[in-house]
Amino acid sequence: MYGLCGQLCHHFGWTLDYLLEEVDYAFLQRMLIDAPSYDYDKDEDVKKDTKKGKSFDYSELSQESFLSQLEQYK
């Protein structure tokens, strides 16, 4: 929670005391709901071709082998 409070204080120019004592908690919750986030569970979906069901791990490949495996998706 304090990391998010620090981000809010930095963004709006508030002090931590002002944020904790003067700003309504329900208002803070509504502000944090709209904060951008990243869904890590869907990261694997980016690597898969859903039409063909094929996937590959591109972190260990050389340039040539990466390009040859990439050709199968055309």
Res 5 pLDDT > 80: yes
Strand pairing category for 54-55 and 48-49: antiparallel
Nearest-angstrom CA–CA distance, 33 and 26? 11
CA-wise closest residue to 27 among 14, 40, 37, 39? 14
CA-wise closest residue to 35 among 13, 63, 7? 7
Summarize pLDDT for 36-53 with one digit per residue, the tens. Answer: 776 666 556 555 545 555
The predicted model scores a pTM of 0.44
Domain spans of the chain? 2-33, 47-71
Nearest-angstrom CA–CA distance, 16 and 9? 6
